[in-house]
Amino acid sequence: MIRPSDPHPCAKLAISVATAEARPVIGGQPQPAEDLVRTLLQTAADGGVSRVAVRPGGEAERQLGQAWPFPSPFSVSVRTLPISEGLDRVEARARRSLERMGLPRGDVLMVQAADDLAGSEGRALWDRCQALKARGLFKRVGLKLTMDDGPALMARRFLPDVVEIPCGLLDQRAERAGVLAELAELGCEVRVSGVFARGLLFGPREAMGFEAPDSQTRAAVSRVRLRLAEARLDPMQAALAYALGLEHVSVVLIGARSAAELRAVMAAAGQPAPQIDWGAFSLTEAPTARRVSSAA
């Protein structure tokens, strides 16, 4: 079931902050990455976005630590390292993430994949995360899942405070199968990712650093683009309207690489939700794309 967007839809947005690699030239000088992140965060705060998600690696954590507005309005989610790194390193890196960002505590510690809990050390990993919560380093513990993980079953087994799961205009399985409702009934805060289908609706994949989708996916996406055009809907507006209107969803996770990008997202999120049959835009299979290695 889809509901009308909340009166202040940007309040449901969470931004996933990646390392700011692009450094536009302003006044003849390259802009420092920290300044880009600072502008991004201020734009988010001014627009009512109060959640930030980050994963270990790169310079994003350090840049965030140098760029928080004061006082900071943000609650921060941190993703764990893979269990293959070892339990001690996973725990140490979660602590280190907070240190790098200059935070005494985080909001959510997200286990990065269900597979990490499936092995012999899965329960020990979960117990380590719960211990960090008990010590006050994180308020909540969450779990990043996919539809292939049996999300409702995993939620019943581990009882996470938060579940993140892909659900968007092109891949509506979590909503149509009732998974979002099941997770909410279990008391989980439901977060959806994959809202923009990794850019499939917006332009050539190669230009974004992804491999091109196969011909079947290209044809399906082209049909969706045509339907959107016929309905006079901007793809970004449609993708956000669908996700923000999901009845059982509390947080919509989006990527933002710059303040300008975030302003475009917030403007689209603020548009009135169209009255339309969203199911007509769903693809049978979830669109996927693999990022091209920088060495390729």
Give 190-225 as a DSSP string.
Answer: EEEE-TTGGGTTTS-SGGGTBPPPPHHHHHHHHHHH
| Domain total of the chain | 1
**CA–CA dist 67, 70 (Å, integer):** 9
Q: Which two tokens stand for residue 86?
A: 């070892």
Residue 2 lies in a domain: no
CATH code, domain carrying 17:
3.20.20.100
Residue 75 lies in a domain: yes
Residues recorded for the chain: 296
Is there a contact between 91 and 59 (Cβ–Cβ < 8 Å)? no
Residue 140 lies in a domain: yes
Residue 4 lies in a domain: no
Residue 294 lies in a domain: no
Instruction: List, in order, residues 6 or more apart from 231 with CB less than 8 Å away.
Output: 238, 274, 276
Predicted confidence at residue 30, as pLDDT, reads: 58
Residue 293 lies in a domain: no
Instruction: List, in order, residues 6 or more apart from 146 with CB less than 8 Å away.
Output: 114, 165, 166
Residue 3 lies in a domain: no
Predicted confidence at residue 245, as pLDDT, reads: 94
Mean pLDDT by 10 residues, the chain (296 residues): 58 82 50 85 94 88 91 94 96 96 96 94 97 98 97 97 96 95 98 88 50 66 81 89 95 92 93 87 58 32
Question: Which residues span the domain enclosing 29?
Answer: 9-281
Predicted confidence at residue 284, as pLDDT, reads: 57
**CA–CA dist 199, 254 (Å, integer):** 11
**CA–CA dist 161, 138 (Å, integer):** 11
Q: pTM value?
A: 0.86
Residue 291 lies in a domain: no
